[in-house]
Copies of this chain bind each other. A is one copy, B any other.
């Protein structure tokens, strides 16, 4: 067993970090004509308040946080969450006894929005791409009417806030990337003859916990003879056999922050096609990492990788992009995609994820995580080997 040597960053953030987040949001709100920002989803609530709970798994009760034009956020939440929210930097915590089928926070939230946005004010909400409204959707117009406010799309503000990571956020992402890198390194030792995809994935899941990960909300494993046909299903009870390609991809978490990267192995023996495909995506990854600098658009980053893949006779890629942002979520904007013109900034955290179908129904996908620095990319993961590893 490898010794665990990774130094664990402190949990949570100082209040100053949350003050900076609120100030950043408020600057963007002014630019977009918003008098307040209403957020409901776990990652937004956590981003603005620091409130950390697994209770999001229960969809019963809606939770609301309102960022006003100035000052700290206001929490409008079920009573069950009051002790937890009171432990954050938020001091204005308004609660109702929930569930209350007759009025589950509607009037309390409406009153708060009227107070903070003003009658006739405009409130931004999670209405756009890559966001989800975590509340009964039919109640939003009711709340707006009762509050006397207009609901507008707050997507641009949320995206602006969460795009660039602070050093403290980067420390957490680097930490989980290192834990997962160390765990990926021992996967060949974990695989035993007769193992199913599921058995190997669950051994890695236990290994990640042992190394200090909090949990692995995303931990997939897919295999197939000479290649796998997707990267989002599994693991299944399929037994790994000689000649298989096997991929594990993980979004593992430390203190709310994700890594998101994968590793590939050939079982017993590797075919030439698979070896060549591996080398092609490995080189495309190198090109992507080298091209990732402040001021570069992600569409241009996509092009650099796409050019490499085209040279290698890619027959397609059902993933639809070549990497993406990450942080409080497994995937975040931007997308390394020909139509995304987002400009990389110092502090953008990104997955570099070139993939290709090298034969019909046979894919090869690589992935590393980086953060953009003044001089270029800092690699957060331990780089995959340049040649397809064969597990004997």
Contact = CB atoms under 8 A, between A and B. Distances in A.
Interface of A: 11, 52-55, 57-61, 78-84, 87, 97-102, 104, 125-138, 140, 153, 202, 205-206, 209-210, 215-220, 229-233, 237, 251, 318-321, 324, 329-331, 333, 335, 337, 339-340, 361
Which of the listed residues A126, A153, A218, A237 has the most CB atoms from chain B within 10 Å of its own CB? Answer: A218
Contacts of A84: 230, 232-233
A60 B219 contact: no
Nearest to A59: B130
Nearest to A219: B54
Contacts of A104: 129
Contacts of A324: 60
Contacts of A53: 220, 232-233
Contacts of A80: 230-232, 318-320
B59 A331 contact: yes
A84 B78 CA distance: 38
28 contacts: A11-B237, A53-B220, A53-B233, A55-B220, A58-B218, A58-B329, A58-B330, A59-B329, A60-B129, A60-B324, A60-B335, A61-B320, A79-B318, A80-B232, A83-B229, A83-B233, A84-B230, A99-B321, A101-B129, A101-B335, A104-B129, A126-B137, A127-B137, A130-B136, A133-B133, A133-B137, A205-B215, A215-B219
Classify the interface of chain A: helix, strand, loop or mixed: loop
A82 B101 CA distance: 39
Contacts of A128: 136, 138
B81 A232 contact: yes
B129 A153 contact: no
Contacts of A99: 320-321, 335, 337
Nearest to A62: B129
A-B pairs with lowest CB-CB distance, top 8 = A55-B232, A127-B138, A58-B331, A84-B233, A83-B230, A57-B330, A79-B318, A57-B218
Contacts of A132: 59, 132-135, 137
A104 B140 CA distance: 23
A215 B216 contact: yes
A220 B54 contact: yes
Given A60-B130, A98-B320, A335-B60, A209 B205 contact: yes
Contacts of A61: 320
A48 to B, nearest CB: 17
Contacts of A233: 52-53, 55, 83-84, 87
A335 B230 CA distance: 39
Nearest to A337: B99
B129 A329 contact: no
A131 B127 contact: no
A339 B218 contact: no
A1 B324 CA distance: 43
Given A54-B217, A57-B329, A101-B337, A202 B206 contact: no
Contacts of A153: 138
Nearest to A135: B132
A52 B237 CA distance: 14
Contacts of A202: 209
Given A58-B331, A60-B130, A205-B209, 14 more contacts: A53-B220, A53-B232, A54-B218, A54-B219, A55-B220, A59-B329, A60-B335, A81-B230, A83-B233, A128-B138, A132-B135, A133-B133, A138-B153, A215-B216
